[in-house]
Amino acid sequence: MKQYTVAILGATGAVGQEMMKVLEERNFPVGKLVPLASARSAGKKLTFKGQEVTIQEACDDAFAGVDIVLGAAENDIAKRFAPAIVKAGAVFVDNSSAFRLDPKVPLIVPEVNPEDVAWHNGIISNPNCSTIITVTAVNALNSIAPIRAMTASTYQAVSGAGAGGPVELMAEVEALREGKTYEPRIFSHQIAYNLIPQIGGEQVDGYTSEEMKMQNEGRKIMHLPELKVTCTCVRVPVVRSHSISVSCHFDVPVTVEQVRQAIAKAPGCVLVDDLSKKMYPMPLDTSDQDLVFVGRIRPDLTDDCGIALWCCGDQVRKGAATNAIQIAELLVK
């Protein structure tokens, strides 16, 4: 099997570290791994497949001879290095939001629109984590009838804010247990025993940038340019795995049994839906794995052509690292 030189841009971050783990787990044909990070991390060692690899400083020359670059850095870093990556002849699979809505850049969830990989011009975008989990859960319903609109609420784990999120949650819990105060640094308010109904800055009509991603990215991924989405994004005191409550609205009535059958066959999904046995998707069950669990399927009582459901998925893996590596797998195929 052909071996590939793979670089990870932002290798020291949470997503970059998870990418290394997933590359190894999925036995991706890595002939050489090139971990890239800032100058202060250059020279440090990481372990990949039992061997030490040295972190290199990210610079334009670092991409020479690289086949695939997995982006795990912020928007500004992605924009800074994208031209050099493309010029070097590598394909940039980018986890940032820098290129997601660029009409010249495919935005891919491999279980949904793998065919879009064919028209890339050197850059492929990885969608937002909640968007990936949601469209993986609902896309199969488009085979019954196209989804016209969605009403969604996301319940996003603290690790979605980076490695400092779980640290802050645990520190707050400990401080409160001891009767002490704790000044939040990662989140705008105390997250322990609380919910924060804002993720991202305000973008339009009171919706945050995070909330608009569900509509704007969902349209592009599912090839539904008229899709309308009302979304509320909430940070919750859960360490890992995002949960989403979704109502899908169609132009024709759709039955619960049709939906159950479609989801049971959908790639990347697991049907967990038996209320009488208290079986439904939960963050604890979906953490540290790559499938999206779907359940609580029922009629939307406000819409005769609507279906409500609940889904959960690991936002660090399927919502970021694994989805990017699945895209890379499409490339090498």
Give catalytic residue positions.
129, 242
Q: Counting Cβ atoms within 10 Å, is residue 186 exposed (0-12), middle (13-18) or buried (19+)? A: middle
Q: How far is CA 37 from CA 70, 120, 288, in A?
A: 12, 25, 24
Query: How long a stretch of residues is the chain?
Result: 333
Q: What is d(CA 84, CA 95) in angstroms, rounded to the nearest whole number?
A: 17
Q: Note whether 308 and 136 are within 8 A (CB).
A: no
Sheet with 91-94: strands ordered across: 56-57, 30-37, 4-9, 68-71, 91-94, 123-125
For the residues of 303-319, what is the DSSP string, one character each?
-TTEEEEEEEE-TTIII
> Which tokens go with 324?
């990017």
Q: Note whether 128 and 107 are within 8 A (CB).
A: no
* Core vs surface per residue 44-61: b (16+ CB within 10 A) or e: eebebeeeebebbebeee
Q: What is d(CA 59, CA 66) in angstroms, rounded to the nearest whole number?
A: 13
Q: Note whether 129 and 18 are within 8 A (CB).
A: no
Identify the residue whose tokens are 């924060």: 196
Helices (H), the chain: 14-25, 75-87, 129-138, 164-177, 209-222, 256-265, 283-286, 322-332
Q: What is d(CA 249, CA 229) in angstroms, rounded to the nearest whole number?
A: 10
CA torsion, ordered 132, 134, 135, 137, to nearest 10 deg: 120
The CB-side HSE value for 168 (13 A sphere, CA atoms) comes to 23
